[in-house]
Structure 1
């Protein structure tokens, strides 16, 4: 099973530096802003298209969690699980989306951290998320994206790790993506 593939590199510590032009850094920033907008507008099919085939979405359950294999995570999803969640969230009969979850992502403090062993760009940002469905809640944390360059000069997500400030809290349903 792909999710249990322990060779998948979940590290967000760079092994080398990355030298990007100001224009390239701006394209990375725009990519992260675009991803947040797709989530806020519930354009999940377009959001799914931002990922590589083997991309992983990870929200650790513990501070400084080294990997998703030794401890439980809030989310550890591959392509299939992201697609299943989108189908469930978009299903008109899904009681947990009546009313629909609304969100506003605020992405900031974007820094280029470097490259991983495979040459993927590691980008760190901070996130403030306001989410509403019956009640309003606030989530915040550090987000690490590992990005693979595409032939057309764009990016695809290899790994998205969301380190929530309150990851060890008790949560009501976390339905939509952070």
Structure 2
């Protein structure tokens, strides 16, 4: 997985999602609904349903550096495969987890959704902005640019890559526990 060039966004050669404007609008609307549903699942702490949105080999990535092109060659805030996502989801929902007493509550705002085409493997590339307001004994807001690579070939869309570039990624953070 770490050697997979499809995770390096500098190698993405996006090609037009469609030449038909109506198809583009319908595809963008479907992509928006997918991103909104993902946000809702996270905000309602429906982690099992959120984990089901992923391909088995999908990766969740929060780079540390702006413009970072590789998770392997530089430290990242998160670089999680299916196992690490599941471990974190279980920890967040465990009633004995002291760092979630009280549980973190979030509200996400997803916007500026752009369907940017397909990568070389045929996965749909979707860019968006994300604002997450988080509360647990205090409130903070996180914001960033998000890139999803979505496998749209089956009956249900699946996330192959979710990259969140926080606007303050190089800042010193209190624990980032929840998924963004």
Matches within 5 A, 1:1-178: 2=1, 5-12=2-9, 13-19=12-18, 20-152=23-155, 154-178=156-180
CA RMSD of aligned residues (A): 1.2
Instruction: Report the secondary structure of 2:6's partner residue.
Output: coil
Q: Deviations over 1:139-172 (max 9, x none)?
A: 00100000001432x3100000000000000011
Q: Residues of 2 paired with 1:8 and 1:40: CA distance?
A: 31
Q: Residues of 1 paired with 2:152 and 2:17: CA distance?
A: 13
Deviation at 1:60, TM superposition (A): 0.4
Q: Residues of 2 paired with 1:14 and 1:115: CA distance?
A: 8
Is the Cα–Cα contact under 8 Å of residues 14 and 122 in structure 1 kept in the other structure? no
Is the Cα–Cα contact under 8 Å of residues 61 and 73 in structure 1 kept in the other structure? yes
Q: Residues of 1 paired with 2:24 and 2:147: CA distance?
A: 20
Q: Residues of 2 paired with 1:15 and 1:166: CA distance?
A: 27
Is the Cα–Cα contact under 8 Å of residues 14 and 113 in structure 1 kept in the other structure? no
**Structure 1 residues without counterparts, runs of 5 or longer:** none
Is the Cα–Cα contact under 8 Å of residues 14 and 116 in structure 2 kept in the other structure? no
Is the Cα–Cα contact under 8 Å of residues 28 and 113 in structure 2 kept in the other structure? no
| Residues paired across the two proteins, number | 174
**Structure 2 residues without counterparts, runs of 5 or longer:** none
Q: Residues of 2 paired with 1:45 and 1:95: CA distance?
A: 21
Deviation at 1:14, TM superposition (A): 3.3
